[in-house]
Amino acid sequence: MNMNDIILKKRTGAELSKPEIQFFIDGYTNGEIPDYQASALLMAIMFQKLSMEETVCLTEAMKSSGDIVDLSAIHGVKVDKHSTGGVGDKTTLVVGPIAAACGVPIAKMSGRGLGFTGGTVDKMESIPGMKTTMESDAFMKQVNEIGLAVIGQTGHIAPADKKLYALRDVTATIDNLSLISASIMSKKLAAGADAILLDVKCGSGAFMKTRADAVALAEMMVSIGNLSGKRTVAAVTDMSQPLGLAVGNALEVMEAIHTLKGEGPADITKLSLELAGIMVYLGRKADSPEHGKLLAKEAMNNGAALDKFAQFVAYQGGNPKIVEDEKLFPEAKYRFDLKASESGYIGSIDANVIGLASQHTGAGRTVIGEQIDMSAGIVLRKKVGDEVREGEVLASLQGNMESKAKLGLDECKKAFIIQKNPPELKDLIQDIIGLSLLDTN
């Protein structure tokens, strides 16, 4: 078996066998296969595509390239949640405590942010004293004791994906459903959960710009998950404008706390309850997603979810008093307001531009490892469909470097479109994929 034959086979449109795919992943991960041959195969895949069987084999090979987490020491049905990334997406910090308060064990590994898509780990580290690393035994013990632990993803999970993604990024081979699906699902399957909920974003602030593309990606990932023995569901959700009002690390944690108190923005509240309801169902603590949603609402309304969040913070070294005192969060030195230049209705808010503006304030990274300003970011004062008068504040920007905050303000001006008539609003939750495939036992 050699790479030249494998490249030629895929270039002519033939289907690769499981041993051939395993040979490629093993060889490329350990350095025996050079970048130029891997690039050639990736480009052949771009043009000829992969079948579902090939995609599952690729996912399995990438999953097996590193550590596979064993969560068997944790009691109950472990449920993981993954978002494909978006601006202002702090749902993990809301749905995790809600699901845990409903009895579903959440043992989650999350990533850091790069560019304008914030990482859950970065957001957690805006909480004074919060630790995002721990030994495996302590991780399992915490989940068994309080039902919730979130830590940074280790570098030993699916190393083939890390190496392949870097190559795809510089060879224009990112935009392929099979390669995207295998990238995401190899890490999720290696993380050891029994069930997986995927939040697939679509719109200007998401990788998948259209609903059709997002649904296609969701369907493929759900199929991979179920074929791999994991109960998997995907929600296709709108990211044409930022989720919630806050964009930035400490700002988003504060908004998550407001949401757990029942005081959050309508969109983040609605999405969090929907996702939490599905997680409670996947964790077999509810008879249906609707029943799960009722339990999730109850956990939010009676304070159990907020208590779980405070407990989670305390267990990981953070100050649980943050749930009542926002002054404990990092504070920004500079604040600037973006004001409306005319009256009308907010026709659109480009989530991508808001994300870039937030990055400019210091809330996001431009390179891996760059230090970020935990206090920096943007708070939207208007959302799509809101009426606005000339001079009203559209958004407030903040940070600890005046030049960066002003740079963010200049970028933010490009995000808002004001029109004369109210716009047609998009559904926040556009589709749920995979529920019909699950057993009802």
- The angle that helices 177-190 and 35-48 make with each other, rounded to 10 degrees, is 120
User: Which of 357, 355, 351 lies closest to 338, judged by CA?
Assistant: 357
Say if residues 433 and 219 touch (Cβ distance below 8 Å): yes
What would you measure as the largest C-alpha separation in the chain, in angstroms? 69
Q: What does 282-320 look like in DSSP terms, one character per residue?
A: HTTSSSSHHHHHHHHHHHHHTSHHHHHHHHHHHHTT--G
Residues contacting 259, CB < 8 A, separation 6+:
94, 244, 265, 268, 269, 272
The one-letter code for the residue type at 139 is F
Say if residues 228 and 265 touch (Cβ distance below 8 Å): no
CA 251 distance to own-chain centroid? 17
Q: What does 130-198 look like in DSSP terms, one character per residue?
A: ------HHHHHHHHHHHSEEEEEPPTTS-HHHHHHHHHHHHTT----HHHHHHHHHHHHHHTT-SEEEE
Token duo for residue 245: 């009002």
Catalytic pick from 80, 89, 122, 161? 161
Q: Is 230 a catalytic residue?
A: no
Catalytic pick from 10, 63, 81, 82? 82
Q: Is 187 a catalytic residue?
A: yes
Catalytic pick from 90, 168, 230, 258? 168
Catalytic pick from 65, 181, 183, 358? 183
Catalytic pick from 10, 63, 163, 187? 187
Q: Is 199 a catalytic residue?
A: no
The one-letter code for the residue type at 400 is N
Q: Is 183 a catalytic residue?
A: yes
| Residues with catalytic function | 82, 161, 168, 183, 187
